[in-house]
Amino acid sequence: MKFLEEIEVRGKTVFLRVDFNVPLDEGQNIRDDTRIQASLPTIKYLLEKGAKLIVASHLGRPKGQFNPKMSLKPVAAHLEKLLPETRIIMAPDVIGEAVDKLKASLNVGQLLLLENVRFYKEETDNDPGFSRKLAEGCQVFINDAFGSCHRAHASVVGIAAFIPEKAAGYLLKKEVDYLSKITHHPEKPFVAILGGAKIEDKIPVLESLINKANTVLIGGAMAYTFLKAKNLQVGKSLVEEDKLEIAAQIMKKAKENQVRFLLPSDHILATSIESQEAKTTVDSYPFPDDLMAVDIGPKTISEYKNQIKTARTIFWNGPLGVFEVEAFARGTIEIARAVAESEALSVVGGGDSITAIHKAGVADKINHISTGGGASLEFVAYGTLPGIEALQ
Ligand code: AMP
């Protein structure tokens, strides 16, 4: 994979794919511009080096329909503030005659922001005709949209076939550098922490980690599918009944591989998430029928912390409990602190874990906070991503 700085961009028309999928409020105001800030180094570099810059992104899920609520216009207005020296032109569309005219008249140092690429169904279909239209008039393709690299979409993957020169931007390169370190040559002991609601989206990463990691620490609702698979009665806790078999297989494989696969040994129980109140802490089974687990207990926190202390490499994705509720957040926050205190190379991915890291006030003590939850999980699972392969 080539890197941006290895390519001559002066005077060339550059198609830059970024992830500007920012949260908007009712009044179309940007609530958090982290994603825009994350690609600013690449944008500034390209403008300084004399590129004619075309920028594309998706926002939300408009499902192939033009939807003014998911327009990138607020992003164009924000870019004007962030780049006061630069002429920002908002395109009325993604492709078509009007856009082609704007592309052709673009000057060095100007930035043309295309409309939401997902206004076209062809984007998510990775339609070659659409990819060709996106590539129209462009000599260089730069991908800086790490968070979208696990999707084989037209502006991420398809377009690369129609533009000869291509490379990764700063954000993508940093993600790949860190994730490669933990995926391909992790310094041992490698401790992986996985939480969140469902096993379903985490099967590939679990299967990969039980071959690579020394220790896997499980938390969140996910843990209760594993515990149920061990025939333990977990009350009203969330269990994916259709995943019991795969859960049992994963635990068996971990044992064969001599991977320490730890499940919570004590649990905070509540009548419901909505009750926002912990009823009791238990370390035995069965759980009362009317209670569900909402967080890991103090004994588990201490056991997991001990494992984290021994690590030279840490990968963490997903909260260990319903951390959005104050009374059920302790496990996740304590684990965030332990990861931050560790001397290991630490990589954290996934929106919830990142929120927890910020809540715990330890973001500056984490080596790498990945901008892509799904993308980082898939990278760890498969060692690469469709969007990265397209740049090779
Ligand atoms: P995911 O998107 O799979 O990473 O799941 C994140 C969600 O899992 C968060 O909204 C948490 O509130 C939720 N979660 C974590 N632990 C539990 C639990 N024990 N029971 C129910 N939901 C949980």
Summarised one tens digit per residue, pLDDT across range 321-358 is 999 999 999 999 999 999 999 999 999 998 888 889 99
Q: Which of 11, 129, 351, 361 does the annotation list as catalytic? A: 351
In a domain, 89, yes or no: yes
> Smallest Cα–Cα separation from 293: which of 273, 318, 319?
273
CATH label of the domain that carries residue 110: 3.40.50.1260
Residues 157 and 199 in one domain: no
User: What's the domain count of the chain?
Assistant: 2
Element (H or E) spanning 345, and its range? strand 345-349
In a domain, 50, yes or no: yes
Q: Which of 35, 52, 118, 151 does the annotation list as catalytic? A: 35
Span from the CA of 258 to the centroid of ligand 1 (angstroms)? 28
In a domain, 389, yes or no: no
* Closest atom of ligand 1 to CA, residue 220: 16
DSSP 185-233: SPPSSEEEEE-SS-SGGGHHHHHHHHHH-SEEEE-STHHHHHHHHTT--
In a domain, 318, yes or no: yes
d(CA 366, CA 100): 43
Q: Ligand 1 — pocket residues by CB below 6 A? A: 196-198, 220-221, 238, 293-294, 318-319, 321-322, 324, 350, 352
In a domain, 392, yes or no: no
For ligand 1, mutation pick of 352, 376, 378 (most atoms within 8 Å of CB): 352
Element (H or E) spanning 348, and its range? strand 345-349
pTM (2 d.p.): 0.93
Residues 48 and 102 in one domain: yes
Question: pLDDT at position 201, please?
Answer: 86
Question: pLDDT at position 334, please?
Answer: 97
Residues 80 and 143 in one domain: yes
Residues 153 and 217 in one domain: no
Which protein residue's CA is at the shortest distance from atom 6 of ligand 1? 196
Span from the CA of 374 to the centroid of ligand 1 (angstroms)? 15
Low-confidence ranges of the chain (pLDDT < 50): none
Tokens standing for residue 17: 């794919």
Span from the CA of 220 to the centroid of ligand 1 (angstroms)? 6
Q: In the annotation, is 374 catalytic?
A: yes
Which of the listed residues 124, 144, 173 is the one where a domain comes to its end?
A: 173
Question: pLDDT at position 7, please?
Answer: 96
In a domain, 365, yes or no: yes
For ligand 1, mutation pick of 194, 268, 322 (most atoms within 8 Å of CB): 322
Residues 257 and 369 in one domain: yes
Instruction: Provide the residue range defining the domain that includes 105.
Output: 4-173
Question: pLDDT at position 351, please?
Answer: 80
Question: pLDDT at position 165, please?
Answer: 97
Span from the CA of 287 to the centroid of ligand 1 (angstroms)? 19
Q: In the annotation, is 351 catalytic?
A: yes
Residues 128 and 258 in one domain: no
d(CA 223, CA 229): 10
Q: In the annotation, is 96 catalytic?
A: no
